[in-house]
Amino acid sequence: MAKAAWVFPGQGSQAIGMGTDLATVSLAQERFAEAESVLGWSVLDVTQDPDDKVSNTLYTQPCLYVIESILTDLLKAQGHRPAVVAGHSLGEYVALYAAGVFDFAAGLALVQRRAELMDQASDGMMAALLGFDADELNAKIEATPGVVLANDNNPGQVVISGTPAAVTAVMEGVKAKRAVKLNVSGAFHSPLMAEAAAAFEQVLNPVPFANAQVPVLSNVDPTPAVDAMVLKQRLVQQMTGSVRWREITLALPELGIDTVVEVGPGNVLAGLTKRTCRDLALSNVGNLAQVEGFSG
């Protein structure tokens, strides 16, 4: 029997129309209604907006959380359970929900506030680099004040984050097959998010966390943990800390994991995983048909 890790994608995996097919299921209908009472707006209205409203950070993060949580609930309703969970940036909140750390509404309220604070962080810039020499890149980052490695996704893909001048200097100073500025509002996962992170910590502190029902591999620390306070502290650090996704992926086989199930729209994490650990079996559950066809 497969021993599966469920992983949850973050910002960048959203798509117009995502989640629409779920609206025919009563469990999903209840979740969408609960989400509207928390958010004050309809997730399905946003995801179906032809002007790509869903790609605005204010809406992207809550919409992904809601849809990925519904997919999780539907999988669990069929009797499926993960052995380990992890989520990429925003996806870590769904991982914590899937592990029973907080309830749906509590997680959604946190995600909505996180999105608001990140959207307001207008200073800074992020860029993705593909096909580079890791030693050259690390040396250039170390020699350039104001820029950090924000997402260590796999051996051939990273995201850097920092001041526009510093990010541009690294992009121009390192040989890469591709270097692309990201369309985001700020320098996420960098020290430039410190003010937003401090504000978010005040929101996060009073929220009750339970011990996780399955181990969680966090973005800032890829070692498995179930202790509520440890998981909360890692979440506090997440907004300014690097997403260590390559290390999370490498940890999975050591935990006996043989299958990675990406729960959410698209297949970004499956692609990253394939580049890092070729022996892991990959599966995607991003819509109702894939839920119904999932065999575990």
Question: Is residue 218 among the annotated active site residues?
Answer: no
**Among 161, 122, 121, CA closest to 141:** 161
On whether the CB atoms of residues 161 and 150 are closer than 8 A, the answer is yes
Q: Is 80 a catalytic residue?
A: no
CB 55 within 8 A of CB 14: yes
The domains of the chain, with CATH numbers, are 4-121+190-293 (3.40.366.10), 125-181 (3.30.70.250)
pLDDT for res 295: 86
Tally Cβ neighbours within 10 Å of residue 207.
14
Interval 7-62: pLDDT, tens? 999 998 999 999 999 999 999 999 999 999 999 999 999 999 999 999 999 999 99
Predicted structure pTM score: 0.96
Average pLDDT value for residue range 86-90: 97
Dist CA 198 CA 196 (whole Å): 5
Q: Kindly write down the DSSP assignment for every residue of 188-250, as one continuous string.
A: TTSGGGHHHHHHHHHHHTTS--PPPSS-EE-SS--S-B--HHHHHHHHHHHTTS-B-HHHHHH
pLDDT tens across 237-282, in order?
Answer: 999 999 999 999 999 999 999 999 999 999 999 999 999 999 999 9
Give me the catalytic one of 69, 161, 189, 242. Answer: 189
107-129 average pLDDT score: 92
pLDDT band for position 106 (50/70/90)?
very high
Out of 69, 89, 218, 242, the active site residue is: 89
What confidence tens digit (pLDDT) does each residue in 140-198 have? 999 999 999 999 999 999 999 999 999 999 999 999 999 999 888 789 999 999 999 99
Give the chain's mean pLDDT. Answer: 95
